[in-house]
Structure 1
Amino acid sequence: MPRIVIDIPTHLVYETSLSVRISDINFAGHLAHDAILTLTHECRARFFHSHGWTEINVEGKGIVVSDVAIVYKSEAFFPDDLRMQLFVDQISKKSLDMVYVITHKNDGKEIARAKTAIVFFDYAERKACSIPDIFLKAIENKV
């Protein structure tokens, strides 16, 4: 099976800092694979919050994650400070990819890349819907 490759898109929309918590450490003493997904969720939730939204309310529409991929680059340990960058790519009528690049804040060494495919969802109707214009405008205004 070929290895997963996650390219870094050019469209950076958000950046935040997080720290590795003791609960993020696995039996080998480094950042656990499942914690990477939790960090991406925290980054995404902070991005939504920075615009006054939640993941279930962007003008009445929410999101669902339709797939996830993670590529590991190096280790992180408790209590490392991390830089989380959020990029968007593959924007279509109802979905987009969010790509996360996680690096050590002190030296910039890359820890991991992750991608989540995001589908906008109308929870009242229980079906996929168009990406709200306000969301598209917000991500277009970022560099």
Structure 2
Amino acid sequence: MARVKIEIPSAAIGTVTIPVRITDLNYGNHVGNDSFISILHEARVQWLQQHDLSELNVGGCGLIMADLAIEFKSESFYGDIVEIKLSAGEISRVGFELYYQLSAKRNDENVLLANAKTGMICYDYTSKKVVAVPESLKSILMN
């Protein structure tokens, strides 16, 4: 069976931390895959806020997630403070790749939890059309 392999770009464009909530746990008493996706979403929103942006306004347009891939590496548990390093990948005319490396510190050791990638598309919610990536966003992504 072919497994998803995600290569994280070396240049980080931001870092956020998110604590694991009790509601993030599943019946196995670790963070569920659906909660990992929620953590990615929260990380993206916090990163955008660091630049005074939101998913509805990244320089005159909004964002839509076109695709998502996650490569799970280790369990995450209640009490973990997840550090998410964000990196940009390919930037096209209307979208870009955003990479996430999730880790937690346990017993003075960094534990890699997951690598992930989202394909983000710039979208005008009023006209319901895909639009070009704003130059201001490109400059943040190429930081």
Q: TM-score range by the shorter chain?
A: over 0.9
Q: CA deviation at 1:99?
A: 0.8
Greater per-residue strand proportion? 2
Aligned to 1:7: 7
Identity %: 30
Q: CA deviation at 1:85?
A: 0.6
The Cα offsets for residues 46-98 of structure 1, whole Å up to 9 and x where unpaired, read as: 11111111101122200000011111101111011111111110111111111
State the one-letter code of the partner of 1:12: A
Aligned to 2:110: 108
Within the alignment, does 1:128 sit opposite 2:130 as a pair?
A: yes
Over the residues paired in the alignment, what is the CA RMSD in angstroms?
Answer: 1.1
Q: CA deviation at 1:139?
A: 2.2
Distance between the aligned counterparts of 2:78 and 2:97, measured in 1? 29
Aligned to 2:141: 139
Q: CA deviation at 1:43?
A: 0.6
Distance between the aligned counterparts of 1:76 and 1:42, measured in 2? 16
What SS class does the counterpart of residue 91 from structure 2 fall into?
coil
Uncovered stretches (5+) of structure 1, i.e. residues with no partner: none
Aligned to 2:60: 60
Distance between the aligned counterparts of 1:67 and 1:100, measured in 2? 14
State the one-letter code of the partner of 1:94: V
Q: CA deviation at 1:105?
A: 3.0
The Cα offsets for residues 83-134 of structure 1, whole Å up to 9 and x where unpaired, read as: 1111110111111111111001342110011111000111111111110001
Structure 1 stretches (4+) deviating beyond 3 angstroms?
Answer: none
Uncovered stretches (5+) of structure 2, i.e. residues with no partner: none
Aligned to 2:121: 119
Distance between the aligned counterparts of 2:118 and 2:55, measured in 1? 14
TM-score by length of 2: 0.94
